[in-house]
């Protein structure tokens, strides 16, 4: 099957543009393509993404799984697991690795519940 060359027809609206205008038009179109992806990434996450974040923070995969489970059970996953671990560490007056490992082992759950309660109150 031979494809008919229709470049001249399709590019007619571009032919009057200068190089600078073409460059600006390119970036305008690129933004239209990328902005929905950025918005999607900003407002949506998943347990696997959050586990990945925790792995990069220095937690083991087993710790990351437990931390994410505890955060997800309380409806806080959309806040970001790393962010929640940092908040727990701040309130518990400890470093984030200790706080995260504590969460994985069932400690600091009262602090996590407090954060969840505050999040619900702020959303209401």
Same domain, 52 and 77: yes
d(CA 39, CA 28): 17
The pLDDT score that the predictor gives to residue 39 is 83
The pLDDT score that the predictor gives to residue 116 is 95
Same domain, 65 and 115: yes
Same domain, 61 and 97: yes
Range of the domain at 114: 47-122
Q: Which residue would you say has higher pLDDT here, 69 or 2?
A: 69
Q: How far is CA 66 from CA 35, 79, 105, in A?
A: 33, 17, 8
Does 81 map to a domain? yes
User: Global pTM?
Assistant: 0.69
Same domain, 31 and 56: no
As for how many domains the chain has, the answer is: 2
% of the chain surpassing 70 pLDDT: 100
Does 10 map to a domain? no
d(CA 85, CA 68): 10
Exposure string over 80-116, b if 16+ CB within 10 A, otherwise e = bbbebbbbbbeebeeebeebbbbbbeeebeebbeebb
Q: Tell me the per-residue pLDDT of 41-57, one tens digit each, with 9 for 90 and over.
A: 777 889 999 999 999 99
């Amino acid at each position: 099957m031979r494809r008919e060359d229709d470049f001249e027809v399709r590019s007619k609206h571009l032919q009057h543009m200068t190089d600078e205008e073409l460059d600006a038009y390119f970036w305008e179109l690129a933004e239209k393509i990328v902005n929905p992806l950025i918005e999607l990434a900003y407002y949506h996450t998943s347990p696997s993404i959050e586990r990945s974040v925790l792995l990069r923070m220095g937690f083991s995969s087993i710790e990351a799984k437990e931390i994410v489970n505890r955060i997800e059970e309380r409806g806080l996953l959309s806040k970001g697991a790393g962010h929640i671990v940092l908040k727990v560490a701040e309130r518990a007056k400890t470093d984030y690795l200790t706080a995260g490992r504590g969460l994985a082992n069932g400690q600091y759950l009262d602090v996590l519940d407090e954060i969840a309660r505050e999040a619900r109150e702020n959303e209401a």
